[in-house]
Each structure stands twice: as structure tokens, then as C-alpha cells.
Structure 1
Amino acid sequence: MELLLIHTGGTIGMAETPEGLAPKAGLVEDALTARLPQTVTLKSHVFSPLLDSADVGPQHWNTMLDAIRSHPQASVIITHGTDTMAFTGAALSQALAGENRKVVLCGSMVPLGHEGDAEGNLDLAIATALGNDPGIHLAFAGKVMEAGGLVKHNSHDVEAFRAQPQDPLHPPQSLRFDTTRKLAILTLSPGMPADAVEAIVSKLDGAVLRLFGSGTAMNDPALISVLAAAVSAGKRLRGVSQCEAGGLQPGSYAAGAGLWGAGVENGGRQTPEAALIHLWLN
């Protein structure tokens, strides 16, 4: 059996230095090799330089996808920092939809060798990658979660992630990320000026709008006008809920009617991260 390790960086592969925790070359590779059965052939793709996950973006997702697709028979473990794990989980889940791959994301809140969660998470990732079930998953805190709807809900606890149910995925229109596209997530808030939204959206090709509850926004004709003008100009706006669970239900409240009339797309149960990836690939 062939196993591909893609080591991007993150806390799991850090060690103490005089300046504090920093990536240590070979740490993850050695820990993984020591745990593998002799029947497994390990291939590695290590990012250089190793990344803090705050720096991970579409060009790095393309690198991951290229490595995964260049090893069509391999199961894959990706070690990654936790801060943008939800974005990478959504990116790989949607980009690889229909390809029947087995990819397991893994990270930790405490580095390897520090008597924390790293060793257990890596063991779980290996067991999952060597198992029989395909899919894109996260192995973390004793749980194997679908990676397409991850939410990092705690910034310090070892049980940092939840997975929100997502609608079934279909193969995307694009298999790679166009790094020239300008997309962002905007959170609507009470009193938010319409001209501020207009200024931000004018610099973008599209945006995810985090709406109130099941899909409402403030009763501001100027804001609705800005959104409608953006859609008319060819910018895609996709709505999701600011609530972690439950998603949108257009038509439940009159306060949301202007959004849908302006052409805002219904992101349904998508997390903000999943909706952003949807805009990138479809």
C-alpha cells in the first residue's frame, strides 16, 4: 500500500527554539515513519518553507491537489495548522468531489514530543488513511470528521473542531483554484454602512455574505441597492448564516426578501469556508 504524506507545517511539526516554537524539519516525517507497518510505502511532499496555516491560500491548495493527483493510488495524510484547517478541508472536499480519494487532514494544538494531542491525532490519521473508507476527513481529538464543513470553535482546547453537515457534493466546474480571483467573506452587522459594503465589494470578484439567522439583513434600501448593483455587474454574492448550525431558509422572514430579490445566492447549510470555496470552483 502507498501512503503519501503532505506536510504543510503547523504546530504538530514544531519544536522549542530560543525564540519559541518553530517548524523543525523531519519531525513529522520521522514520527509517521516510526508508526507505519512495513507493508506501507511512504512517499512525502514537504512544503518548503513550512507554513503557518495563516499563510495557506489557493496557491497552496493547488500544490496539495497536484501532489494528490500525481499519486492516484495512494492514501493521503496532510499535516496542517489548525487556524485555516476548515478552509483547506472545504477546498479539498470540493475540488476532489467525485474522484473517490482517501485524504486525512491532521494537526494538533500541542507539538509532537510535548505530551499533548499530536501523537494521538497522528495515530488516528494513520488508522483512518489505512482503512477502507474513502473521503476527505479530519482526524482530531479522537474523532474522524467530514472535512467539508469543519468549524474551529475553540482556539485553545484540544477538542477544537466540529463538523457541520453539508449537502452532497458534485464534481466542481474547475479542478484547480484560479489564484487571480478576488474573493472574501463579509459579515453583516447592525448599522453597517452601505457605502462601506460597496467599497469592499467593488474590489472583489465575489463574496460570501454572513447573514443573520436563517437569512435576514437590516432593512436598508441602500444596502440592497448596493448588493443588486454588484450582482448586475457580474459579481457573485453567496449568503450563509452567521449561526454555526442550521443554515439558511429563504422565505422564512420578510427581512430577508430583499437579499434574494437582489440576486444573493442561497448557500444553504454551507459554512462560510465552504461557501467561499464554492465560489472559487463553480
Structure 2
Amino acid sequence: MRGTSIMTSLLILYTGGTIGMVPGPGGLQPGTGVLESALPALTPAGVTFTVEHFSPLIDSANIRPADWNHMLDRVEAWQGQAVIIVHGTDTMAYTGAALSGALPDLRLPVILCGSMAPLHTGGDAEGNLGLALTSALTAPPGVWLAFAGRLLPAAGLVKQDSHAADAFRSIAQTTQPSAARRFADRRVAILSLSPGLPAAALRGALHELDGAVLRVYGAGTMMNDPAIIDALHSAIARGCRLRAVSQCENGGLEPAAYAAGAALWSAGVENGGSETAELALARLWLALS
């Protein structure tokens, strides 16, 4: 465990998000210098930091795989002791999964940080940023989220509330090494099965994709609709990779448990087990990269 008796050098990669926003004509928008103004009072003794901004700063709703690749480039190039990535909460689970999937053998901690209210408004921002800074001194190598007084493994994040300060929990995930370390230009998406889903809609979506994560029912079941089943077979036959995860947050999939799931596995759909949809997306994307 590292202490503050020696100088600790941090990279703070500021992507955007609520934490650094100020009121604007159309609502909250990124504010110049907001993050930097808060750092001196929150930074532990013996710590130096370098702040790098995304240009322009972005709402996390606009995060793309190219942005994950930039984060990965900066993490791997950093010669200091830790990296903090300041990020909006809406796609925090996707970025946590993406970085965890692409960086299975990290030599340093990467701490994600965001907030539900901006800095200097009396909300959660100072507490979360302060936790990220202190956790950078003590956390083991890996990708983490500093939020609401807890340090959570970032691979299995779930945003459980759209307003509360305690907005995240983490579902334990297994380690799965990936040969690819960056996200290539592929067409990948998450699709949910639902009662009455038109087969033509599923077929049309799959036709546009190189791969898809299917959110299926329970322990791994789906509707007994010949047209839906044919759409899955046809997609896989042309090279579209499909990976199934459960619509339930816990428990995962159990192939062969129910006859209603046989069509999934006979079509060649991959078993995502207990993966969150976000982690399944990241792993499938890396497998296609």
C-alpha cells in the first residue's frame, strides 16, 4: 500500500460531465476552470497532478469508442502512480466496462469519478472527487469508481438511480483477457427481447450490425417465434456475432435450464453468463476489434 511519504504523481483526465458544469441558457453546461478551482483544497499532501481536458468537454451521453481509445492511450502512456478520469454518470458503466475489458493487467489504479450535482453547489461532487484523490494513493491496480463514499470495481457497474447521490452499485464480474486493447470501428449494439417484438424489426437491426448483445429473459429464455429464431440464425450465418445476457441484474444465464432457451444456443448465440450488458458489449466489441 502506498503512502504520502513520497511524491505521488496523478493524471486527471477531465472528459466532462455534471461535476464541472455551471448553469447556462439551455441548462447545465461545462464551466471553464470549475474542476481546477476545487482541486487544491481536496488534494492530499505529497500529491502532484496534471489535468488534461477533452476538447471540447462532452456530456457523457456523447461518449464513443474513440473516446475510450483516447483514455486507454493516456492511461498506458502515463508514467506516474495513478490516473483519475472525471466523467459524467450517464455512461459511466459503459466506460468502466470498456476500460476494464481493455486493461486486464494494469500496473496502476484508474479511478473513475463523477457526481450527481456540480462542484460548489453543496452536493456530492467534492466528496466524490476527494475520495478519488485519496483512493489514488491506496487502491490496488485496476479500474474503480469513487462514488458516494465507496470504491467500486468498475467492470460491473450499474447506475441504479437517476437522481440520488448513491447512484451506483457494482455486480461482481469474472476476468476475461482480451487480445485487443483498443476498440475498432465496428457496428455493435445492445438489443432487448420483449413480448411482441416484430421479427422484421430484429432482423433489420441485426442486418446493420457486426455484433449484438441480446438481453434475453431470466436464466436464458426467449419467445418461441420461428421468425425471431430464423432472424438469429440468419444473422449468425452471415458472420454477425451475438452474445446473450440476462435482463435480470443478478444470477446470469444457465443454458439448457429451460426448453424455451434451446433456440438461442442452437443458433450459436454466445453465453454472456453473469455479465452486465455494458461489459458484454465491451467484450464483444474487443473480440471484433
1:106 paired residue among 113, 116, 123 = 113
Match of 1:142 among 145, 149, 152: 149
Once the two structures are superposed, what CA deviation does each residue of 1:88-132 show, in whole Å capped at 9, x if it has no partner? 000111111112331000100010011011011111111111114
Residue 258 of structure 2 corresponds to which residue in structure 1? 253
Letter in 1 for 2:50: K
The yes-or-no answer on 1:181 pairing with 2:191 is no
Matched, 1:190 2:172: no
**C-alpha distance in 2, partners of 1:49/1:264?**
39
Unpaired segments of 5 or more residues in structure 1?
none
Q: Equivalences for 1:90-239 in 2 at 5 Å?
A: 90-170=97-177, 172-178=178-184, 180-239=185-244
Asked if the contact 1:248–1:269 (Cα under 8 Å) also holds between the matched residues in 2, the reply is yes
- The alpha carbon displacement at 1:232 in A equals 1.3
Partner of 2:4: none
The one-letter code matched in structure 1 to 2:216 is L
Residue 50 of structure 1 and its aligned partner are, at CA, apart by: 0.6
Shift of 1:38: 4.4
**In 1, Cα distance between the equivalents of 2:239 and 2:11?**
40
Secondary structure of the structure 2 residue equivalent to 1:157: coil
Measure the CA separation in 2 of the matches of 1:95 and 1:252.
Answer: 32
C-alpha change, 1:157 and 1:37, in structure 2 (3 Å) is closer
Secondary structure, aligned partner of 2:111: strand
Letter in 2 for 1:176: R
Counterpart Cα distance in 2 of 1:129 and 1:214? 38
Conserved in 2, the CA contact under 8 Å of 1:45 and 1:67? Answer: no
Q: Is the 8 A contact 2:104 2:175 kept in 1?
A: no
Partner Cα distance (2:146, 2:195) in 1: 37
Give the whole-Å Cα distance in 2 for the aligned partners of 1:208 and 1:29.
39
1:10 maps onto 2:10 in alignment: no
| C-alpha contact (below 8 Å) 2:97/2:156 kept by paired residues | yes
Distance in 1 of aligned mates of 2:62 and 2:24 = 21
Question: Residue 74 of structure 1: CA displacement?
Answer: 3.0
CA distance, structure 1, for counterparts of residue 152 and residue 182 of structure 2: 24
How does 1:2-81 map onto structure 2 within 5 Å?
Answer: 2-81=9-88
Measured in 2, the distance between the counterparts of 1:19 and 1:80 equals: 21
> Which range is displaced more, 161-170 or 6-15?
161-170
One-letter identity of the residue aligned with 1:115 = G
Q: Cα–Cα, structure 1 residues 45 and 241, in superposed 2: closer, same or farther, change >3 Å?
A: same
Given the superposition, is the C-alpha separation of residues 227 and 18 from structure 1 closer, same or farther in structure 2, using an over 3 Å criterion?
closer
Give the whole-Å Cα distance in 2 for the aligned partners of 1:9 and 1:73. Answer: 22
Aligned-residue offset at 1:194: 1.3
Residue equivalent to 1:268: 273
CA distance in 2, matches of 1:21, 1:92: 27
Local SS of the residue matching 2:138: coil
Amino acid at match of 2:41: A
CA contact (8 A) 1:177 1:281 kept: yes
TM superposition shift of 1:32: 2.0
Kindly indicate whether the alpha-carbon contact (under 8 Å) linking 2:44 and 2:133 is maintained by their aligned counterparts in 1. no
- Gap runs ≥5 in structure 2: 1-7
Which 4+ runs in 1 deviate beyond 6 A?
Answer: none
